[in-house]
Amino acid sequence: MTKLSICIPMETAAQDALPLVRLLLENQSADFEIVLAKPADTELPDALVGLAAGEARVTITDAPAGITRQLLWRHAALAAKGDWVTLVNPGDMIESELATMVAYLDTNSPEVDALAWNAFQIDRHAEPGKASSVAIPARYHIDKLDKTVMLKAFFYWENSLSSPKMPFGLYHAAIRRSLLDAVLQLPEPQDWSTPVPQYEWAAKVLLFANELAFCARPMSAINIVPFVAQPPLHPWNFPFHSGIGLAGAVAEVQFHVLRELDTPWSGGSEAFVRALTIDCMMETDREAYKNKGNAYFTALKEFEGGRLAPFFRPEFHDVRQTDQRRGLHDGALLIDRFVAGARDAREFYTTVKLMMAPVGLICGGDLRDKGNKAV
């Protein structure tokens, strides 16, 4: 069986995965397959179709026309055949040696069924001289993480920003086949939809995983796409939703996933209110800030008798502070977002990969010889 499936959902014909696929296929020895999932009424670029036709490691699978993002991701996962599965968007970049890392886990930590890593966040619309620095972690080891700590971080919003600090899931993370099958056995969503399926997968992976492993070395880069509020589609009475903002969308996902398991949502806390506050303060347009703030405050007043509403006190700032430091700080190397002229996630990762520890070193005998343990 193929070691790794890399799923790439193609929501529209405008999303061209050709550069990503070509770069991945340059690694001719890597044991992976690439699954391109698209709606049946979406036509892919001829060059991409031609490449797939002549490459055994690339598969194109059609989903029903008009399918939601949420169900397209599920369709891609169902089509994957690898021992491990990951998913990235067409404009993203992922390490072609990821198959080596999951094979290493199979041998050294077979109980681990969910792997996450640091992922670079790249805004291709950022302006040179104004963008924040990007941090490259100095560490590159693979460590096991306490599942209880991650459950608190995600479902109780501990130390969160506008969304929980939760790297595990399917999106820019990898899960073992056994865990994927367990998640896919859960009922397919029928009465709700979400624009952020990455958090649905994160919630389910976290709940059903046996062991979690985290690699400090970045293994991918995300082409940031701003969250766009969408009216919710759900039949229940829950005031936080994707029509308000990102934090509301994540809370809605948590509520639904727990509802499926007959478990009450218990994320209502001061930490959650802080996430709503940060989400609101991310708006640099006063009118957008006002609308989002009013919507969150209304939702807080409707929730549990309004006990959390007094803690919601956002402040408007029309200019966002950026960290433009360079050099080593707090265990990370801060570099220019536009290093070597990198414009997007693919170009950035291709450049900084030369600065990071090779995957073969992380997963090879060198670490053990030095008395260190990767996992």
Q: Mean pLDDT per 10-residue run, the chain (375 residues)?
A: 97 91 96 98 94 96 96 97 98 97 97 98 92 95 96 97 96 98 91 94 98 98 94 86 97 95 94 98 97 98 97 93 91 96 97 96 57 42
Q: Is residue 254 part of a domain?
A: no
Q: What is the pLDDT of residue 187?
A: 86
Q: Is residue 374 part of a domain?
A: no
Q: Is residue 19 part of a domain?
A: yes
Instruction: Tell me how far apart the alpha carbons of residues 42 and 13 are, in angstroms, rounded to a whole number.
Output: 6
Q: Is residue 310 part of a domain?
A: no
Q: Is residue 70 part of a domain?
A: yes
Q: What is the pLDDT of residue 369?
A: 31
DSSP state letters, 13-30: TT---HHHHHHHHT-TT-
Q: Per the structure, how many domains does the chain have? A: 1
Q: What is the pLDDT of residue 368?
A: 34
Q: Is residue 360 part of a domain?
A: yes
Q: What is the pLDDT of residue 338?
A: 96
Q: Is residue 138 part of a domain?
A: yes
Sheet strands side by side (includes 134-137): 134-137, 332-335, 327-329
Q: What are the residues whose beta carbons fall under 8 Å from the beta carbon of 136, sequence distance 6 or more?
A: 218, 332, 333, 334, 335, 352, 355, 356
Three-state SS for 37? strand
Instruction: Tell me how far apart the alpha carbons of residues 81 and 321 are, in angstroms, rounded to a whole number.
Output: 44
Taking a C-beta distance cutoff of 8 angstroms, is the pair 162, 246 a contact? Answer: yes
Which residue range(s) make up the domain with 125? 4-228+330-369
Q: Is residue 311 part of a domain?
A: no
Q: What is the pLDDT of residue 367?
A: 33
Write the CATH number for 162.
3.90.550.10
